[in-house]
Chains A and B, each alone.
Chain A
């Protein structure tokens, strides 16, 4: 009786474990292992070495990191004051939170379409620029790095705002009052009280935005061009258009490694900056 009772939890856990092992873990493990062997079946790093030598891959990799960094920075700069306003001053907090959540629930396909309407050659922005005479002919605002970054920011800014609000809501108003009473200016209070206490939210948000940008597929596919491929679109192109499964696998492994390194790296740095985390 006791024996049966102590072991029953395996019955609850096993189906899920088997499912994830068969359809995710083992396939993933096989993928990673196969990148270290050549067609003859012996250990080899050719897959990685030839990829690292290709200038095309270098460009794609550099672009992925750079655009993700720019987007993360922009989300932090735009998200911080917004979250601070919503958390401390806004009277319609619920409404503003809901308005930030709504785009997150809307398909990235739809959100990318909307930028195609706005930034296209015949789009809203170009029409406006030509009409007021700022430019003679429509600018190329679409299918380049600019439109990709715009798309990324709109895609992931809500994540940053919500992560920051979660943290800022816990900063007691008393701390600000205390700093003020002790003679600190509003700017000083912000610099020495609000900012340091908000770092955990900034870190969570940045990890989410950066890894989100790095692995997003829809936005670069729709708003980027053929000469602005990033890691995610490269995996798809190698696998589905060119049929180069080996190279797609190597890029996939590199993407996993970079994502893991970035999230654990940023978390480690933030723990050093703020040991109370």
Chain B
């Protein structure tokens, strides 16, 4: 019992260390001071209004959302059929193919960003948006691959056979037999990929242009010149959204299926 008390104490300190700073930034977002500080003075909501007045945040947030969703969709289009084939068929080089689809997690993202800029964006003269889209798709593929492969491992492929014997077409079997069975795997893979893409800095830092930028990069650029509570307000808003997403995951799939 005594041991569990000292363990509890360490755990408490660790959680204060993990969560405390996030609460500090939330508290600082209400401070009625022109610079970011904690403990703040007074109470105001004007920094939340201020978010909307910073034009670059709006457009960056739009690009962030477009890129996160589009890249995840692309990763799904490329990854789902591959995950299916890897589980369904036996063939030579299977391990190599699997390794290839999972390999983007092994390469440091900062290196991937630099390589993308030098040998994709510059070589093919790509504008910022398609570059970001391609880069984020590469990052999302392993997430899609890992989660969907494990949900396919639990799928009984004889159900597919049964549907086909009963006269279902390939397309019908895919959309009405296979997809509903691995739906929760697909959803958790997509959520993870979207969050990861939305928070990414290392890759985007190389690929954004003056007009096309994403939210984390814009936030970093903003604090270089203004260290005011606007940034804390925006951070708090994003954290509340994250919390909302987590609650939805917990209620529908259970957090365990995602992490």
Contacts and interface: CB of A to CB of B under 8 A. Distances in A.
B232 A259 contact: no
A265 B138 CA distance: 26
Given A82-B14, A106-B242, A239-B117, A122 B37 contact: yes
A90 B11 CA distance: 10
A111 interface: yes
B106 interface: yes
Contacts of B37: 117, 122-123
Interface stretch (A50-58, A91-99, A268-276): A91-99
A117 B29 CA distance: 11
B186 interface: no
Interface string B112-135: 101111111000000000000011
A33 to B, nearest CB: 11
B83 to A, nearest CB: 9
B66 interface: no
A113 B235 contact: yes
Interface stretch (A8-16, A132-140, A195-203): A8-16
Contacts of A15: 77-78, 81
Interface residues of A, number: 80
A85 B8 contact: yes
A117 B216 contact: no
A100 B10 CA distance: 14
Q: B interface, how many residues as a size bin?
A: 35 or more
Contact of B7 (A85, A215, A256): A85
A82 B21 contact: no
B182 to A, nearest CB: 15
A245 interface: yes
Contacts of A235: 110-111, 114
Contacts of A236: 110, 114, 205-206
B195 A31 contact: no
A96 B14 CA distance: 11
B108 A232 contact: yes
Interface string B187-224: 00000000100110110011000000000100110010
A101 B246 contact: yes
Contact of B242 (A27, A84, A105): A105
A105 B245 contact: yes
A170 to B, nearest CB: 14
Nearest to A97: B255
B11 A17 contact: no
B15 A99 contact: yes
A12 B57 CA distance: 39
B53 to A, nearest CB: 19
Contacts of A90: 11
Interface string B24-41: 110010000001111100
B36 A217 contact: no
Contacts of A260: 106
A205 interface: no
Interface in A79-93: 79, 81-82, 84-86, 88-90
A154 B97 CA distance: 35
B38 A118 contact: yes
A192 B198 CA distance: 44
B153 interface: no
B82 A13 contact: yes
A156 B112 CA distance: 21
A149 interface: no
Contacts of B84: 12
Contacts of A28: 107, 111, 115
A113 B135 CA distance: 26
Given A111-B21, A215-B108, 14 more contacts: A20-B101, A28-B115, A100-B18, A102-B242, A105-B242, A106-B239, A107-B201, A110-B238, A116-B227, A222-B223, A239-B117, A239-B206, A255-B110, A256-B107
Q: Nearest 6 CB-CB pairs, A to B?
A: A27-B119, A114-B21, A12-B81, A215-B108, A12-B85, A16-B78
